Amino acid sequence: MIKLYNYLVKDGDAIAVGLSALLFIVFALSIYFGAQSGGYNLSELTDMQDKSQVNCFNVGLWIMIALTVIAIVLMILGVFWDLVRNFKNGSKTLIGFALFFVAFLVLYFTSSHDTRGRYAAYWSNPEFHINESISKFISAGLYSLGGLTLIAFALILFFEIRSFFR
C-alpha cells in the first residue's frame, strides 16, 4: 500500500492528466463518428426539430456518470480509511459532512418555489416533471454551491496570505 501511495504521489498528476486526455479523445471521437453514423452533421444539430434520436453524446455521459460514482466511492472509502487510521482527523471530516448536510436541509426547508415568470414554462410543461420539492431541492443545491464556493475562495485567500507571511 505504501508503494502505491509513493507511486501516486510521484506520478499521480501525470496519470490523471493522461487519463483525462484519453477520455476526452474517446468522447470527441464518439461524438464525431456517432454523428456521421446517425446521418447528420454536427453543425446542423441545433436546427434539428426532433433530437430524440441523437445519441452521439451517450459515451461521454456514461463516462461522466462512471467517474462520478468512482469519485464518490473513493471519497467515502477515504473517509472511512481516515477513521480507522486516525480517528481524531476522520471524525472532523464526518462532522464537516454532517454540518454540510444540516445546512443543506435548512436551505431546502427555507427555500421558496416560484411558479411565475420565467419558471412558468417549466411548471406548466409535464415533460419536465418539476414540482415543489424538486424546485426546493434545486434551490438548496444552488445556494449550497454558492456558499461552498465563497467559503473555498475565502479559505484559499486566507491560507495564501498566511503562507506569504511565514
Burial degree of 1 (CB within 10 A; 0-12, 13-18, 19+) = exposed
The whole model's pTM is what?
0.54
Count other C-beta atoms under 10 Å from residue 58's C-beta. Answer: 12
For 25-36, the pLDDT digits (tens) are 988 888 888 777
What is the rounded CA–CA span in Å between residue 114 and residue 123? 9
What is the rounded CA–CA span in Å between residue 69 and residue 49? 33
Band of residue 121 on the pLDDT scale cut at 50, 70, 90: low
**Mean pLDDT across the stretch 44-65?**
78
What is the rounded CA–CA span in Å between residue 108 and residue 144? 10
pLDDT exceeds cutoff 70 at 118? no
Query: CA torsion, points 125, 127, 129, 130, in degrees to nearest 10?
Result: -40
Higher-confidence residue: 110 or 46?
A: 110
What is the rounded CA–CA span in Å between residue 11 and residue 129? 46
Residues 112, 140 contacting (CB under 8 angstroms)? no
**Mean pLDDT across the stretch 107-112?**
89
pLDDT of residue 96: 86
Domain ranges of the chain: 1-85, 87-166
pLDDT of residue 73: 93
Q: Looking at 52-56, 110-114, 122-126, 143-147, which range is the least confident one?
A: 122-126
pLDDT of residue 154: 96
Query: E strands along 15-152, which residues?
Result: none
Band of residue 97 on the pLDDT scale cut at 50, 70, 90: confident
The residue assigned the cell 434551490 is 139
